[in-house]
């Protein structure tokens, strides 16, 4: 069976829903934008970014959103000395398009800090300064590993995450109609918020959905929350949609 007639929750922030929703619609699904988080700029960090860029040897935005928030400063910066890396292919494509420069990123199926650190081209040397662009309170593993290699690591925390406003009425209507079938969840934090905000009355509906996720860590979190059907794919929109299509194609 295909995605035709199936409602799929797209749980990204509202500013990042459009492209993925379009891919789902092209595959026959009915995408339901369901922003559980919104990204809010941090003005002081944005103002400090040009000076941080001037002193950095490497720039590592951790997500496409991080690239977008850094874009104005990058457009006016002297990038001659900078080298670029990301933990995912989508971020790499966006950063390369913005800067016109090569971007080191994991070449295999896994997109995370460990995969980036294993890339031979990611040859950060002792004494080099690495600037990690992220939201407030990101994961520590990449910075810790780089410091263990002798690098100096700084952060540009350009945005913070706030609770979004998902359309629970539309969720309930799709569940009642029997069309609610799947959700695309791209972070552990989004998974947590989905189940937390839904409350006990919607727990069974959530646990019965198919979840498309881009990393085993997110799959583990969803399984702990009671999700029974999870597909893990590469961290790009086409792979997420294809993962849902493949799963449903094997259902009666």
pLDDT tens-place string over residues 77-106:
999 999 999 998 889 999 999 999 999 999
Q: What is the pLDDT of residue 107?
A: 85
* pTM of the model as a whole: 0.85
* 40-161 and 7-36+166-249 share a CATH fold: yes
CATH architecture group of domain 7-36+166-249: 3-Layer(aba) Sandwich (3.40)
Q: Give backbone dihedrals phi and psi of 130, rounded to 5 degrees, phi first.
A: -110, 130
Give me the CATH topology for the region 40-161.
Rossmann fold (3.40.50)
pLDDT tens-place string over residues 35-82:
999 999 999 999 999 999 999 999 999 999 999 999 999 999 999 999
pLDDT tens-place string over residues 150-191:
999 999 999 999 999 999 999 999 999 999 999 999 999 999
User: What are the structural domain ranges in the chain?
Assistant: 7-36+166-249, 40-161
Residue 237 and residue 27 in contact, taking contact as beta carbons nearer than 8 Å: no
């Amino acid at each position: 069976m295909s995605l035709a007639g199936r409602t799929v929750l797209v749980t990204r922030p509202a500013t990042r829903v459009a492209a993925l929703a379009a891919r789902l619609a092209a595959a026959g699904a009915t995408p339901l934008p369901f922003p559980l988080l919104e990204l809010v700029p941090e003005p002081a960090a944005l103002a400090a970014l040009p000076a941080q860029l001037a002193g950095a040897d490497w720039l590592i935005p951790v997500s496409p959103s991080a690239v977008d928030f850094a874009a104005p400063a990058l457009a006016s910066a002297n990038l001659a000395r900078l080298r670029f890396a990301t933990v995912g292919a989508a971020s790499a494509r966006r950063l390369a398009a913005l800067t016109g420069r090569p971007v080191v990123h994991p070449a295999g199926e896994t997109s995370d800090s460990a995969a980036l650190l294993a890339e031979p081209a990611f040859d950060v040397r002792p004494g080099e300064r690495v600037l990690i662009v992220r939201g407030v309170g990101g994961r520590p593993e990449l910075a810790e590993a780089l410091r263990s290699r002798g690098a100096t690591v700084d952060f540009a925390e350009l945005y913070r995450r706030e609770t979004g406003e998902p359309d629970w009425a539309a969720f309930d209507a799709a569940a009642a109609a029997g069309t609610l079938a799947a959700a695309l969840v791209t972070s552990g934090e989004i998974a947590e918020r989905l189940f937390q905000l839904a409350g006990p009355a919607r727990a069974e509906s959530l646990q019965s959905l198919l979840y498309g996720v881009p990393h085993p860590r997110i799959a583990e979190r969803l399984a702990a929350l009671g999700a029974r059907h999870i597909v893990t794919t590469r961290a790009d929109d086409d792979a997420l949609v294809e993962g849902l299509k493949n799963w449903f194609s094997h259902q009666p």
